[in-house]
Structures are given as structure tokens and as C-alpha cells.
Amino acid sequence: MAPRCRNTPSSIARQLRQEANFGCARCGCPVLENAHIIPYHITHEFPVEDMVALCPTRHTIADKGNYPESYFRQIKENPFNKIRGTEAFLIPSDELVINFGGCRFINIPIPVRLNDFDIMCIRKEFNFTSDHSILMFGRSS
């Protein structure tokens, strides 16, 4: 397995996220990595036509050579979230349940707040859709 290159230019990463409808092209997971269809160690480039947005699990499987190039091309052309459409973030329940670490929050739209600042905010709206935001902060040096 070739080592991953984690320095995808931001404009390429943004384009890959958008074309995959902000989810893994294979499963729809919103946690994304930028995978090379033609391995980086061969091209040493970031051609958007030879890259696809994948979740870490699918990226690891792909790096092991478990998918043919034609499969990558197919899911790049027809990513999971585009096929699934607007149902990508449906919550089919009357309760909004969030498991965060060892804590369980039920129908609490702001489970994490620090000094009157919402760190995590998840709300159920319009019967089954969710509106959520999670703010992440890096360590300052």
C-alpha cells in the first residue's frame, strides 16, 4: 500500500466534495478524504478527474487495491449522495438522539455549549430533515 498524500490543494478538495454531494462517493458518509484513482506515487499530481471523495474506511480499502479503476470512475460519476438525493440526512424518528462520547442527548438541540457559545448544534426541522453544525477548533501555538 502506498503512503497517502494529505496535501490536496483546497480548490481540488472543494471540487471533489461538491461533485460527490458532500459525502463519500461509495457510502455517503460526510467524513471525507481525497483518494487518487491513479495513485499519487505514480502521478505526483492532483488531477481532479483522477480523484474521488471517499470516507476513511473506503479510502483504506481502496489503497489496498480492492477496487478496480473502473469502479472508482463509476462511483465518481454517480456518487451515493447524488443517487440518494435529498434523503441523505433524514432522521426517521420522533426523537432526536445524539450519542456523543459516553453521553446520550435526547431532543436537546445544543448538547455542547461553552461560555454561551454553541459548539455543537443539531435541530430537527420540517418533519424529518436535520440542521446541524459542529465547530472545531485547532490548538493555537
pLDDT tens digits for range 57-92: 999 988 888 889 999 999 999 999 888 765 545 555
Residue among 8, 3, 1, 2 at smallest CA distance from 45: 8
pTM of the model: 0.60
- Between CA 54 and CA 7 the distance in angstroms is 15
132 with 121: CB under 8 angstroms? yes
**Considering the domain boundaries, does residue 32 fall inside one?**
yes
Tally of structural domains, the chain: 2
Q: Which amino acid is at 137?
A: F
User: Is the domain of 58 the same as that of 37?
Assistant: yes
Q: Give yes or no for residue 25 having a pLDDT over 80.
A: yes
User: Is the domain of 95 the same as that of 69?
Assistant: no
Residue 99 structural domain: 90-134
Q: Give yes or no for residue 139 having a pLDDT over 90.
A: no
